[in-house]
A = this chain, B = another copy of it.
Amino acid sequence: MKKLINDPENVVREALEGIALAHVDQVKVALEPFVIYRADAPVQGKVALVSGGGSGHEPMHGGFVGYGMLDAACPGAVFTSPTPDQMLEATKLVNGGQGVLHIVKNYTGDVLNFEMAADLARAEGIEVEAVVTNDDVAVQDSLWTAGRRGVGVTVLAEKICGAAAQEGRSLKEVADLCRKVNDKGRSMGMALTSCVVPHVGKPTFDIGDDEMEIGIGIHGEPGRRRVKLAPADEIVEMLAEPILSDLPFKQGDSVLAFVNSMGGTPLIELYIVYRKLHEILTKHGITVARNLVGPYITSLEMAGTSITLLKLDDDMTKLWDAPVKTPGLRWGM
């Protein structure tokens, strides 16, 4: 296992300590239990947003804590759900009196633990709503999921809903908006290589030198099919077609096109993917009004890409453009 780590058991703790040192003006880190939260939390009079999930997907979620996005993130062990006590602690740390929204990717452990944390928080008098993202069109039910997996749309929901909370919308409004973003977003990913979970020490799955997995999950869960390597343009078609037909996206739609690296794929390749995606969307009469290209929801060092399309309206577009200041996403300030 070739990694820049010390003891595999300390990967998350040591990374959190690094994050706290690097972004001291933006975030604070609690170590018992692990929570990354806004340095100025709780922000009184604002709905608070909490997300979380297994580590290994950085910058998601901890890198999205800050002005205009999340108030807190709960990092679990690598590829492992955080625990209810982390989620409860995060909820209490950031509660500013207007309620807390939990944004939860659809993995069974995450969903159950966030439900338990929400119940515990409500018992302490905090109003909590939860929205589960499930935008991955690749497969119905998966290794750790009943229904569809939550993937790239989570990043977009956290940005858009974070902006809505920042401008003072109510818990119900922010939660409804989050459901809408999830409803209007679809994703699919693929992998060229596996990744190695530090405390496991060997690749999550085996894949031949001439093979790729279409429809991969962000923890290496099986996708739709294992096929021979193909040129990038063909791969983009394999991802775009199921996404487009699922919503379905239609001529005249305006979308945010998000091309994500699974971690090990260089930026130069992502732009080749984006080029073809833009061509396909244009051919369908779909306008790419906004885009995001880079590693935002990763799977450690896995080589591969995922595509997320979000059908925009004027409100979502305005909220996307609003200022954001987090370690992982920043503009306007």
Contact = CB atoms under 8 A, between A and B. Distances in A.
Nearest to A209: B2
A265 B15 contact: no
Nearest to A12: B268
Nearest to A333: B332
B301 A4 contact: no
A303 interface: yes
Interface in A78-102: 78
A330 B111 CA distance: 34
Interface stretch (A118-126, A166-174, A180-188, A269-277): A269-277
Given A274-B21, A330-B330, A268 B15 contact: yes
Contacts of A273: 4, 18
A177 to B, nearest CB: 25
Interface string A257-271: 000000111111111
Q: Is the interface of A mostly helix, strand, loop or mixed?
A: mixed
Nearest to A293: B22
Contacts of A304: 4
Contacts of A270: 4, 18
A63 B267 contact: yes
B265 A4 contact: yes
Interface string A122-159: 00000000000000000000000000000000000000
B331 A18 contact: no
B6 A301 contact: no
Given A56-B266, A231-B5, A269-B4, A21 B330 contact: no
Contacts of A300: 266, 268
Contacts of A274: 18, 21-22
Nearest to A274: B18
A22 B279 CA distance: 12
A17 interface: yes
